[in-house]
Amino acid sequence: MKKPLQKSKIPSNKVFVIRELRESYLDKYWHSHEEYQLNVILKGRGTRYIGDHMKPFKEGDLVLTGPNLPHVWRSDNAYFDPANGLDTHDIVIYFPESFLGKDALQKEEFEEIAKLLARADRGLEVTGQTNKKVMKMMKELVHLKGGASIIGLLEILDVLAHSSELHPITNTDYKSNYRAHEKDKISEILEYVLKNFKEKITLSDVASIANMSESAFSRYFKTRVNKSFSDFVGDVRISNARKLLQDEDLNISQVCYESGFPTLSNFNKQFKDRIGKTPMAYKKDFIEPM
């Protein structure tokens, strides 16, 4: 089994850590850590799950997450089969709240960056021209050393702090009840759903994985993930449907079937309830004009 990357340890002699990662698939473990994280996907596709929000990701996905906000970028199932010859490429930066020194963020010069980091508690998706600019800056930062690297990080944060193209990810009332010692149990449940969402998934199936009764599992899951298990499965299926509507030439019935919905009417209703528009209207947003 692939071991999860130890993300939560910045060496004592470092202000921050930047890593350029090239792997067969992204770390599939649901986790959190005390550092801020800025992550950009350069190659690879899958499902991004941050706090109580799920969304498909692909090349160009750029997100800033705050401390202790649970998350996972889970590669599509195809990436786990070596026969498909797929791989991933991303750049990730980890830095603590005190990376500028104790109380530095309370100083006037860092007021805007402090506001940015406060907003990162909900996770921030970076879009538009800011996305392109920061992605380029992160690629350059990989090769910088010493003081130049710290300046490079500050420049990135300053660009983000003054941008209007950052969008909060989790709901305003989201509160994390994630517990690090339960990481493996939650990850096992998420992995089961993400592998089997096209099939019928029953509460008894997942309750048995967690070695709990159905009622105990329902309570446990809702307190840890901030939503019912049935809502979570629905989010997984909707996320897959969004991906297919964006990237594949499939009709709505095919997308419904490939995403695990029992009927077309159920698919249309759930999609509109969650996304705010019908699958057909959503698909039209990604059709290039002739």
The span from the CA of 237 to the CA of 263, in Å, is 13
Q: In what order do the strands lie in the sheet with 166-168?
A: 17-23, 88-95, 36-43, 62-65, 124-126, 166-168
The span from the CA of 99 to the CA of 221, in Å, is 34
CB contact set of 181 (below 8 Å; sequence gap of 6+): none
Q: Average of pLDDT values for 74-100?
A: 93
CA separation, residue 58 to residues 19, 90, 159, 185, 242 (Å): 19, 11, 23, 27, 12
Pick the more confident residue, 265 or 32: 265
Whether the Cβ atoms of residue 261 and residue 267 lie closer than 8 Å to each other: yes
pTM over 0.85: no
Q: Which of 15, 9, 36, 38 is nearest to 146 (CA)?
A: 15
- In the chain, what percentage of residues exceed pLDDT 70? 93
The winner for highest mean pLDDT among 14-23, 25-34, 167-176, 277-286 is 14-23
The span from the CA of 96 to the CA of 199, in Å, is 41
CB contact set of 180 (below 8 Å; sequence gap of 6+): 31, 32
Residue type, 10: I
Residue 78 has pLDDT above 80, yes or no: yes
Q: What is the pLDDT at residue 2?
A: 43
Q: What is the pLDDT at residue 171?
A: 85
User: Which alpha helices (H) appear in the chain, and where do they start and end?
Assistant: 111-119, 128-141, 146-161, 183-196, 203-209, 214-225, 229-247, 252-258, 264-275, 279-284
Q: Name the DSSP class of 259.
A: T
Q: Please tell me the total number of residues recorded for the chain in this structure.
A: 290
Complete DSSP assignment for 14-82: -S-EEEEEEESS-----B--SSEEEEEEEE--EEEEETTEEEEE-TT-EEEE-TT--EEEEEPGGGG-G
CB hemisphere CA count around 178 (13 angstroms)? 23
What residues pair up with 62 in beta bridges, in sequence order? 40
Pick the more confident residue, 60 or 173: 60
Residue 177 has pLDDT above 70, yes or no: no
Burial class (CB in 10 A: 0-12, 13-18, 19+), 20: middle
The span from the CA of 243 to the CA of 35, in Å, is 30
Q: What is the pLDDT at residue 105?
A: 80
Kindly report, residue by residue over 124-168, the tens digit of the pLDDT.
999 999 999 999 999 999 999 999 999 999 999 999 999 999 999
3-class secondary-structure state, position 126: strand
Residue 120 has pLDDT above 80, yes or no: yes
